[in-house]
Amino acid sequence: MFGMKFDEVIITLNKLLQRKQPTYFNSSWIRRYAPECYSFIQKNIRTCTGEIDWDKVTYALEWKLQRRWAPGHYKKSIKPYRDYSEVKLILKKNKEKLYVFIASQNLEDRRVRDIVSISLVRLAQNGNLSAKRELMKLINYTVDEWLYNYYFLNRWQGYRDELEKQIEGCIRRYRYTGSFLHYVFRTLEYAGRGISPFYAYSLDKTIAQDASKTIIESVVKDSETGRLELYNRKNYVNF
């Protein structure tokens, strides 16, 4: 397969995986059953930091095959460090498209968003705190859009600290090479089901039943529970 291209590698791997139907596969499996493809990937498909970019390879495979990717165990002992130069290498390649974290218009935008986010995830998992910080900043732009557009995620309003912990957990746990943003979205959706919506009230607002009184004038504290509520228990509001 002299002179093969990336698209040809993906076509070959798709056909091979379809034919052999392994329960899972990894780099060793590819090296054994598709040595030409492995050689091309090893020489040409590299991350900004010089490692083989298996995320790029597996992301290009058919979706049902992506889920069988099992890269193996990651190092448990990681020494944290800060190196923004590694982050800059990733951002520089897509500097004209970073708006995708604020507003993605189509499939191509979402693809770029995944490429950048997954690259930063891998750096963060390797201990780069600068990558984690940059990724948290970018993801929060996207999450803010989700909270506005999806009612079932809107309940995270008012629980920003917990939301940040969920995102950090996603960065730490992420192994599958599909869409990282999709993984974050589903995590927030499922984790948010047990959260009570947070309601904000103006204490200067008048009470519907008695326009002459404001909420602050009718707030009382329950001596047993310490909970604040309106004096009229039929229409109380918890604070």
pLDDT at 223: 66
Q: Is the dihedral of CA 83, 27, 112, 100 positive or negative?
A: negative
Model pTM above 0.85: no
Q: How far apart, in whole angstroms, are the C-alpha atoms of residue 158 and residue 156?
A: 6
Q: How far apart, in whole angstroms, are the C-alpha atoms of residue 236 and residue 220?
A: 10
For residue 225, give both structure tokens: 């529970």
Residue 88 contacts by C-beta under 8 Å, 6 or more apart in sequence?
A: none
- Which of these, 45, 187, 170, 179, lies nearest to 112 by C-alpha position? 179
- Which of these, 71, 165, 160, lies nearest to 122 by C-alpha position? 71
pLDDT per residue of the chain (239 residues) written in tens, 0 to 9:
445 799 999 999 999 999 999 999 999 999 999 999 999 999 999 988 888 999 999 989 998 898 899 876 555 568 899 999 999 999 998 888 899 999 888 989 998 999 999 999 999 999 999 999 999 999 999 999 999 999 889 889 888 999 999 999 999 999 876 789 999 999 999 998 877 766 555 556 665 555 666 656 666 666 666 665 655 544 444 44
pLDDT at 233: 45
For residue 200, give both structure tokens: 């904000």
DSSP β-ladder status, 219-221 and 228-230: antiparallel
Domain ranges of the chain: 6-66, 84-194, 206-235
